[in-house]
Amino acid sequence: MAMLTIARLTLREASRRRLLITVAILTLVMIGLTTWGFSRLTTLTCGRDNLPCPPSEIKAITAALLILVAYMYHAILALGAVFIAAPAIAGEVESGIALAMLPRPIRRSEVVLGKWLALSILVSAYAIVTGALEFAAVNAVTGYLPPHPVEALLFLAGQSIVLLTFALLLSTRLAPMTTGVISVVLFGLTWIGGIAESIGYAFDIQAMADAGTLLRLLLPTDGLWRGVIYYLEPVALLAAAGGSRAAAGNPFFVSAPPNTPYLIWAVAWVVGVLGLTMWSFAKRDL
């Protein structure tokens, strides 16, 4: 199939770029630095007597810091997804590559699907591999492992695919830089919208809750990111903070995972936007 050929060529082209090697080196450096930081937690002392902190406190601190590290990867993945998707179609149209390729017996929809498949594999592999390495390294130096690491990594990959799909849609009509700016700004707005929704429901501010819900539906990245947080949280933290109004304003605490209707919406959103991307590219004059 032409779609698989396009996907294979896209992956091959990406593998030849120095960008992937650079990202891999920087990621290993980040994992090394964060692992060293986590290893220092085991040397913490508490109280005036400078006695070693109880294991329960070390575990709580490790869990909180691991969520912050996950947020770092969450932001890197979002920017990376936009960075590789923004020029995926627009760049080839501007350079003339698309004009030379499409007169062949290849449908534009196959080009879109092939690129989407290849780029989704790239960001998902990065999310899962780096996340697994980070969890393994933290477990090796502290003995702590998140309660649901697999689910957290899947949600992390999912939110990256959502943003990648959106950027690919914009890439069919806009220049790469414009696509990148719009995607990153909307990504940030939905994150703020998720916080606003939580505060709105906690303090019965319906207008704020509705605005936050609308943003999270418009681009379902924040809802999936909240799934990452939930599956990284230890049970003790959920039990201690659950139901607290103060916790509602904490962007790094979630009392419940995304429900089934929201997950169905996220999948339908990706399928719908991907279909809109194929239609938009098919109607574009080259």
- pLDDT band of 146, cuts 50, 70, 90: very high
Does 68 score more than 90 pLDDT?
A: yes
CB 159 within 8 A of CB 190: no
pLDDT of residue 93: 72
How does pLDDT run across 250-270, given as a tens digit for each residue? 778 888 889 999 999 999 999
pLDDT of residue 44: 80
- pLDDT band of 87, cuts 50, 70, 90: confident
Q: Kindly report the three-state secondary structure assignment for every residue of the chain.
A: CHHHHHHHHHHHHHHHCHHHHHHHHHHHHHHHHHHHHHHHHCCCEECCCCEECCHHHHHHHHHHHHHHHHHHHHHHHHHHHHHHHHHHHHHHHHHCHHHHHCCCCCCHHHHHHHHHHHHHHHHHHHHHHHHHHHHHHHHHHHCCCCCCHHHHHHHHHHHHHHHHHHHHHHHCCCCHHHHHHHHHHHHHHHHHHHHHHHHHHHCCCHHHHHHHHHHHHHCCHHHHHHHHHHHHCCHHHHHHHCCCHHHHCCCCCCCCCCCHHHHHHHHHHHHHHHHHHHHHHHHCCC
Minimal CA–CA distance to 167: which of 277, 15, 20, 11?
Answer: 277
Averaged pLDDT of the chain: 86
pLDDT of residue 252: 83
CB 139 within 8 A of CB 39: no
Does 178 score more than 80 pLDDT?
A: yes
185: amino acid identity, one letter: V
pLDDT of residue 246: 59
pLDDT of residue 250: 76
